[in-house]
Structures are given as C-alpha cells and as structure tokens.
Structure 1
Amino acid sequence: MTEILAQDTSRSGPNDGDRVIGHPAWPRLKSAVEEIRPWQSADGSIDFDAEGAPARAVAEAALDRVTEAVEQLSPLLPHDAAYHAALVADLRQWADSGFAVPDFLDSLLAFRPSADRTDGRQHLAVFPMYTQNGNPDRNLEAVVLRMVWPEWLAELERTRYDNPLFCGITFEDFTPGYDTNSAVFFPETIAVREAPERFTWGGIFCDREAARFRRVIDAAVTTLGVDLPEDIRALVADQGRCQQAFVLWDMVHDRTHSHGDLPFDPFMIKQRQPFWMYGLEELRCDLTAFREAVRLEADGFPQGRDVQYAVLFDRMFRFPVTGARERNYDGLGGQLLFAYLHQHDVVRWTDNTLRIDWERAPQVTNQLCAEIEELYRAGIDRPKLVHWFAAYELVSTYLAPHPGSRWAKGPDALDLSQPPRKLVDDVLPDEFPLSMFYEALAKKLKHVIAQTKGITADSAGPTGSEGSAGSAATDRTAA
C-alpha cells in the first residue's frame, strides 16, 4: 500500500499527453469552435438576422471544420469512437436544422467516461453547453481532459465510497468557456431536447481546484500570519499532492449528497429554497469528507490528512471571499465553519495573527458536522417552513444576520399565508453579511483570487513564487 499511496497522479497514465493537443487538427478544431461561439445566442442557436451574424454558408463551413477535426482526432481515442460518431451526427443535424437550438442528446448518451476510469485516459468532448461559475450561455465548447483514477482511489471507491458515476479529471486544453472559474464538467449543462432518464457521469477538474487552492491559500496564510506545520506547507507547495487530496475530497463529497438522513431531495432539483439551505447541504458534504478523511488518516492513507487541511483552508480562506455576495451559499458555508471554530477557540485572531489549534480542529469540525446531521435527521418530521427556520436558527447561532432581515425577526414578521417558496422572496441577497475580519481579508485577496480565473496545473505556482502576493505579505494589520 505504501508504494501505491506515494504515487503522484498529477500527470498519471501513458506518456501520451500531447497526442491530441499536439495534433494539427486540435488547433483547427479550437479555432473553428471559437469562430462559431460569438455567433450563438444564449440558447445556443444562431440568429442569421441578428447584427453581426454570418451568412449561413459561412457558419456551415466553420462547422464542417469542427466535424473534420473531430474525425481526424477520433482514431487517437478509440474508446470514444461511438461518442465521436454520434457527435458528428449531432453537429451535422444542427447545421441541417438551420442552427436552431442545438440538441446533442444522442451524443451525450454515447459519451460514457465513467464506464472505464482508467488512470490517465484521455477524452475529447465537444458540446453546446454552459459552464458553471463560468459562461452562462450554451455555447459550443471543446475540451480535452485526462482521467485521474489511481489504484488507491479506485480501491477506496470499490470498498468504502461507492460512486460509480464520479470522474476525477484534469485539463489538457479547452475553448474559452473554460477560461473561467468553472471546475466541473456536468451533463446537466449540455443542450438537449429532453433530460435523459438518468445521467451516467459527472466530472470535476481536480487540477484546477488544486491550483486555485494553492494560489489563494498561499496568499491567505501569508496575509494572516498563520504558522503552518511543515506537512501543510509541503502540501501547498505540491500540485500533484493537492490533486490527490481534491480528487478524494470530491469523490466523498459527491456521494454524500445521496447518503445520510435526508429530509429533502439532496440536489434540490426544481426546488426553491432559501440559499442557506444550499449552503448547509454543501457544507454537510464537505464536513462528511473531512470526517472520513480523519478515519482514512488513522487507517494509513496520507491523503486523509491532506483532505482535512484542504477542507479547512479552502472553506475558511477562499470560499467566503470568492464570488459575489448575492445568495453565495458556498461563501456562507465557509463563514459558518470559521465562526464555529472561532467560537469554540480553535481559531483565534490575536495581535494581527491567526492562530489555529491543530489538535482540536478535527474534533470541533466533526462536532459541527454532527449538528448539521442532527438538523437533517429532525427535519424528516418537520414541515418545510419549520425546517427552514430551524436551519436559520442553526446558522444565526454563529453568524449575525443582516439587521434588516425579516427572517431574523421570526415567523411573525412574514406572511405565512403564502406558500413557502414565495417566502424565499423575503430572504435578503446577502442575508448573512461578511464579518469585519472577512471584509478586510477580501480586500487583501481580491487580486489573487482574480488571477485564478482559467488557472490550470501548469500555472499553479503559489503566489509568492510569482510575486503576486507581495502586497499581502507586507501588511497584515488591515485583516
């Protein structure tokens, strides 16, 4: 086991990383896709009457270049042959429809990366899609990715964390929709005529998550004067090691959405709920991954200890200060974790330095996980609105609500004759504002966070090595 656990999966698999992106057809494919994207409407169609639209023949010629490139690249990836054949058919059908709203259901059903998660296996995917935390429009995108599935992870999935649809992946290259903050590849984002009965895969780019983590955490701990133990310092400096931590974290997090005492649809599909409910669900899954990581460390898996640090640091130092404040449920979860640890004396901000009690951190973090799980277990017996208020009470025990909040004033301040989904309108966009600590930290880290847009493993060096954290390192008093 020791030999397996020591593997660096940052570029695992056959030494063929350039066989697709180094082929002359790949830049031609990218160029054709990037030519088409600006012509598309938000729904993926092309309106040839719109200002700046090309002649239909020009669009057809560009699409022909896409299909030709796919056909040239497909023999390099025989495991994707059926998908690429369906893809070419969907591309041609889109042109035949006059470039109406695209429908790539047939090629989506043929794309099955989870069927064989061989470590290092490459895939070339082309779809009209939006990218979460990236481009909201269903533009044509192309991405070359590589599977991350080392034997130690495959064994854990087989024996402890069954998740047959999960795909840990890394970027090889991509079109502009992924030159963003998106770190996921989900079938739900693809333009289809109807949703399939069930989705068969879901991918998370652990290289982008690791690179983003390293860049932001390096700046945060410098800004806050955190005294890192040597093993954590080594983690932040090692892209391959961080990727191993994130692929394990993601696999356990993903399966947790459908495990445990769940008083509602875990993915909350077609449900309208206050955003703190989403925040608690994402935090529950992360804290479950943390708890499992503690057990894995005890069982001799070094990635278990790394996952604990990754969860704590990403949740406390990156999530709360990333993105807009409007219904930022991931930010809320990070705020809650920090406040809980602070109010239980695990973290202390004293003399412009953040101190962490490393010995008590696992125990207290698991304690918060238990509180959320008890909320869920009790929620099975509650009406929806009562459950929402119970969740609000849990969050507001540790985080101060906005002083203008109606929800903070209790049920008497709301019109309870309305259905629960209507009462969501009374939730403020920033129901739990940032603390003074986080307001100051956000100002210190905003430039570093902006630099993580489109980041990959190849551009993942900690900020200090590239000079981008210099201002953070020189003055910690404002935080």
Structure 2
Amino acid sequence: MTETLVPGIGGAAITAGARVVDHPAWPALKAAVEEIRPWQSKDGSIDFEAEGAPAPSVAQDAVIRVIAAVEELSPLLPHATAYHQALVSDLRKWAETGFRVPDFLDSLLAFQPAAERADGLQHLVVFPMYTQNGNPDRNLEAVALKMVWPEWLAELERTRYDNPLFLGITFEDFTAGYDTNSAVLFPETIAVREAPERFTWGGIFCDREAARFRKVTEAAVETLGMELPADIAAMITDQERCEKAFVLWDMVHDRTHSHGDLPFDPFMIKQRQPFWMYGLEELRCDLTAFKEAVKLQAEGNEHGRDVQYAVLFDRMFRFPLTGDRVRNYDGLGGQLLFAYLHKHDVVRWTDNKLRIDWERAPQITNQLCGEIEDLYRAGIDRPKLVHWFKAYELVSTYLAPHPGSKWAKGPDALDLTQPPRKLVDDVLPDEFPLSMFFEALAKKLKGVIASTKGITARTEETQQKAEAAA
C-alpha cells in the first residue's frame, strides 16, 4: 500500500488545557481505536488473510480517523506537541507499510512526560502495547490521563526519595486494554523495533489502586469482623486520601528496585528465576515504603500512617486472592506478610474475628523487611543457586510448601548437573498454596475482587450515585 494518509481536521475552537475527554474528538478517537483492536494479531500486526479481517482500505480509513482525532486534540496539550507529531508519523508508516508488526519507537522516544511533572497536567497516550496484568497482546490503545504531582510529593522527591522517572497518574478515560486489572503505564510494553538504551518514565495509576484497595479492604474488614482505629476507618472511605497514600507508596516502592544491597539485576530483566525471588523483591520494595512511612509518621507527615495501612491491608487481603495461582509472586508476598505477622502474634484469628495489634504492627513489619534485607546482603557472596535456596528457606519458614515440591525436599531432590535456569522447571506452578484461612476468605471475597476489574474513582462515583438514586 502506497497511498498517503491525509486526515481531515475538524474546525472546532479549542483552548489549551481544556479536558481532553470533553472534546468531541476523544470519543471519535476511542471508537476508531476500538474498531482496529479486534483486527490485530498478538504481535500487533493485521493479517488481512485471517477470518474476519477487514479490507486494507477499511483499516486505512480507521487509522485516518485516529490521526484526525489526535491532531484535533493536540492543541489542548501543547507540552506534548513533539510526541503527537511523531505519533502521527508512526501511525502513517504503520498503515503505509501494510500494517505489519507496529514500530512506534520514534513516538516513544518523543514522549517525555517525566520532563515536566505538574499536578493536573493532562496527556493523551496512543500506542500499540500490552497492558501489564491486563491484555497480553500488543493492541492499539488510547488513554487520557492526568498527572498527580502535588507540591508535598514533589518536595519529598526532591529532598528524600529521588525518582526522576516516576509518574503518579490518574485515568480520565481509556480503551479496552485498560478495562482490566492493569494499573501501570510502562514504556517497555510498547511495540518498537528495538528497545531504547534507557527508559525515561514509568507511570502508576493511583486512582485505580486506591479505588480497588478501598473496595476490597471494606469487604475484608466486614467479613473478618475487624475493628479499625477511627482514623484508618475514615481513610478507607476517602478516595482522595487513599490516592495520596498510594502515590507516595508507589514512588518509594519504584525507587527501591535500584536501592539497597542488590545481589542481582533489581528488575530481573531477561533473567529466569523461581517466582519466589520476584515475590521477595516486590515485597522488599513494599516493606521499604512501609518503613519509610513509619519514619514520616514520626516526623509528623500526615500521609505516613495512611501508607502503612495501605501496604498492610492491600498486601494481606487483596494480593493473595487476586489472579490465578500460577507463579503468583505478588500473591506470595501477601501470604508471607500475613503469615509473618501471625507467627509473631501481631495478627490473631480467634472466635471468627481477625484482631491486629496496632501498636506492634510497625515494629514486626519492619522486622520482616530486615530479614529480607539480610538475605540480599548475604546473597552478594553466594552463588545463584545457593541464594535461591536461602530465599526458599526464608519463605518456607513461614509458608508451608506444596507436599509434592522437589525444592522443599532440598538439593538432593534436584538434578544439580543442570544449570540453575533449568531447575526453575522443577518449581511447581503453586509452590506455596493458600492456607485454609485464605482459601475460606477467597470464597467470601472473590466476587468483590472480580468487580474491581477496570475500576477507577469515577466508576465508584457513578455507582454510588446510581445506588443513591435507587
């Protein structure tokens, strides 16, 4: 196909800074993207020989409409003009070269949202991408989002938690790939011909995280008969307050991946490791955020206590019960935190009620963080396989392994003539099954957790209004 794409531009007067989602070009953009998505293969290309595929001219027309909408919306966002221009060029190239595997490297390199972090600043994001914890295929997606960067957070980042690539963001609207459990916008998910030398930003949707946390925690508290301190009970009802807790938690968590005594690549990119290693890394980052929140509370920061209980409740009640049990490393981290607190008598399940020793919870949670940090520090002097076994030993001290596990039987049960990466094949999909407590809790909460798919603060507001009207 050699036809040049020249989209028409609408003539509506627009003002820079007006909401993207209020402009008529936004629903037009969404509709065009949603038309394209079902035509795409897993790698993002369009196979015109496949059943149900459109004629090439129909696909071209849809891309023309995407381009026209982007160009109409671009004046609302003058800070992102270079990205929009590169995006239009990449869309044209994709269409004009026959909708092969998309390559949006040029527009990815032009998209630099971390260069200007300002509270409330909008972005229009259009890329072929997969959505982590959402859609595994590289479909075209469109997202309208808003930056969360209040002065108090910017000050903490400048003076204490340097993280120049971090973006706190909230949804304004999105296409189907984000009508899922995904709460991140990461550059490594975007279809490109080659990975850039370095990524320059990473975004986390604190509104989805907060809304999901509130709904699941509220259900868990009721189911387990928990009595909450008044300030924490009030926090769970307050979406804005929870968003502030999550954006601070996320900022500290994100930077922790590259801080501390790290015996391996902190993101474990292109490494094959047992999933409990990923689980410990994610939990280490969360518990570091918890530890910092304890310090912030002691210094009088109003968000410090909120972060602590966001970490505790999300990790203990939502993470173990979310997703399937195949290599569920986030679930494993939540199971470990709960079991550790239970073993140290901070959490008690008695008379069908869950009780938490609120005074000792910070001390014992920080103690678990210290055990993981000690594991990492010692790991620098250990061979990889020995480090994996030591990590297994830590986890299995508090969580019972599956009875059929080879790893639980120790090195003699494994073929140690194989390289470590091959021994990962001997790890069971659910190496540390749920306890009876969590199995029972899952039955009570599975409907609530399923209902949080695609949730945002706006979703909750709409639902509450509908319930009030009824």
TM bin (shorter chain): over 0.9
Aligned equivalent of 1:246: 246
- Aligned to 1:460, the other structure's residue is in SS state helix
Tell whether 2:80 aligns with 1:80: yes
Tell whether 2:437 aligns with 1:455: no
Aligned equivalent of 1:3: none
Residue type of the partner of 2:163?
N
Aligned equivalent of 1:366: 366
TM-score, structure 1 as length reference: 0.93
Aligned equivalent of 1:325: 325
How many residue pairs get aligned? The number is 453
Q: Is the 8 A contact 1:71 1:84 kept in 2?
A: yes
From the superposition, tell whether residues 341 and 107 of structure 1 become closer, same or farther in structure 2 (CA, over 3 Å): same
Residue type of the partner of 1:397?
T
Aligned equivalent of 2:434: 434
Identify which of structures 1 and 2 has the higher relative contact order when contacts are C-alpha pairs closer than 8 Å and 6+ apart.
1
The CA distance in 2 between the partners of 1:65 and 1:464, in whole Å, is 35
CA shift for structure 1 position 298: 1.0
Tell whether 2:443 aligns with 1:443: yes
CA shift for structure 1 position 17: 8.2
Aligned equivalent of 1:41: 41
- Aligned to 2:20, the other structure's residue is in SS state coil
From the superposition, tell whether residues 462 and 350 of structure 1 become closer, same or farther in structure 2 (CA, over 3 Å): farther
Aligned equivalent of 1:66: 66
Q: How does 1:260-409 map to 2 (within 5 A)?
A: 260-409=260-409
- Aligned to 1:141, the other structure's residue is in SS state strand
Q: Is the 8 A contact 2:135 2:177 kept in 1?
A: yes
The CA distance in 1 between the partners of 2:455 and 2:466, in whole Å, is 14
What's the % identity of the aligned pairs? 82
From the superposition, tell whether residues 419 and 463 of structure 1 become closer, same or farther in structure 2 (CA, over 3 Å): farther
Q: Is the 8 A contact 2:123 2:144 kept in 1?
A: yes
- Aligned to 2:21, the other structure's residue is in SS state coil
- Superposed CA deviations along residues 362-394 of structure 1, whole A, max 9, x for unmatched, are 000000000000000000000000000000000
- Aligned to 1:21, the other structure's residue is in SS state helix
CA shift for structure 1 position 299: 1.2
Is the deviation greater in 298-307 or in 429-438?
298-307
Q: How does 1:128-207 map to 2 (within 5 A)?
A: 128-207=128-207
The CA distance in 2 between the partners of 1:30 and 1:122, in whole Å, is 17
- Aligned to 2:177, the other structure's residue is in SS state helix
The CA distance in 2 between the partners of 1:429 and 1:326, in whole Å, is 5
From the superposition, tell whether residues 410 and 445 of structure 1 become closer, same or farther in structure 2 (CA, over 3 Å): same
- Aligned to 1:402, the other structure's residue is in SS state coil
- Superposed CA deviations along residues 388-428 of structure 1, whole A, max 9, x for unmatched, are 00000000000000000000000000000000000000000
Q: Is the 8 A contact 2:16 2:78 kept in 1?
A: no
Residue type of the partner of 2:206?
C
Residue type of the partner of 2:205?
F
Residue type of the partner of 2:137?
D
The CA distance in 2 between the partners of 1:387 and 1:311, in whole Å, is 27
Residue type of the partner of 2:246?
F
Aligned equivalent of 1:109: 109
Residue type of the partner of 2:334?
G
Q: Is the 8 A contact 1:214 1:461 kept in 2?
A: no
CA shift for structure 1 position 462: 12
- Aligned to 1:84, the other structure's residue is in SS state helix
The CA distance in 1 between the partners of 2:466 and 2:32, in whole Å, is 34
TM-score, structure 2 as length reference: 0.95
Q: Is the 8 A contact 1:86 1:110 kept in 2?
A: yes
The CA distance in 2 between the partners of 1:263 and 1:199, in whole Å, is 22
CA shift for structure 1 position 459: 2.1
Q: How does 1:4-23 map to 2 (within 5 A)?
A: 19-23=19-23
Aligned equivalent of 2:9: none
CA shift for structure 1 position 360: 0.1
Q: Give ranges in structure 1 of 5+ residues lacking alignment.
A: 1-14, 468-479
From the superposition, tell whether residues 465 and 371 of structure 1 become closer, same or farther in structure 2 (CA, over 3 Å): farther
CA shift for structure 1 position 460: 3.1
Aligned equivalent of 1:57: 57
Residue type of the partner of 1:317?
F
- Aligned to 1:348, the other structure's residue is in SS state strand
CA shift for structure 1 position 465: 10
Residue type of the partner of 1:343?
K
CA shift for structure 1 position 461: 6.4
The CA distance in 2 between the partners of 1:292 and 1:414, in whole Å, is 40
Q: Give ranges in structure 2 of 5+ residues lacking alignment.
A: 1-14
From the superposition, tell whether residues 279 and 152 of structure 1 become closer, same or farther in structure 2 (CA, over 3 Å): same
CA shift for structure 1 position 319: 0.3
- Superposed CA deviations along residues 77-123 of structure 1, whole A, max 9, x for unmatched, are 00010000000000000001100000000000000110010100000
CA RMSD of aligned residues (A): 1.5
Residue type of the partner of 2:156?
L
Aligned equivalent of 2:7: none
The CA distance in 1 between the partners of 2:187 and 2:383, in whole Å, is 33
From the superposition, tell whether residues 273 and 466 of structure 1 become closer, same or farther in structure 2 (CA, over 3 Å): farther
The CA distance in 2 between the partners of 1:292 and 1:107, in whole Å, is 36
The CA distance in 2 between the partners of 1:130 and 1:410, in whole Å, is 38
Q: How does 1:16-31 map to 2 (within 5 A)?
A: 19-31=19-31
Q: Is the 8 A contact 2:16 2:77 kept in 1?
A: no
Q: Is the 8 A contact 2:126 2:142 kept in 1?
A: yes
From the superposition, tell whether residues 392 and 466 of structure 1 become closer, same or farther in structure 2 (CA, over 3 Å): farther
The CA distance in 2 between the partners of 1:376 and 1:454, in whole Å, is 36
From the superposition, tell whether residues 322 and 41 of structure 1 become closer, same or farther in structure 2 (CA, over 3 Å): same
CA shift for structure 1 position 458: 1.2
Residue type of the partner of 2:226?
V
From the superposition, tell whether residues 465 and 372 of structure 1 become closer, same or farther in structure 2 (CA, over 3 Å): farther
CA shift for structure 1 position 19: 2.2
Residue type of the partner of 1:353?
K
- Aligned to 2:191, the other structure's residue is in SS state coil
- Superposed CA deviations along residues 108-152 of structure 1, whole A, max 9, x for unmatched, are 000011001010000001000000010100000000000000000
Q: Is the 8 A contact 1:448 1:463 kept in 2?
A: no
- Aligned to 2:22, the other structure's residue is in SS state coil
Q: Is the 8 A contact 1:218 1:463 kept in 2?
A: no
CA shift for structure 1 position 213: 0.1
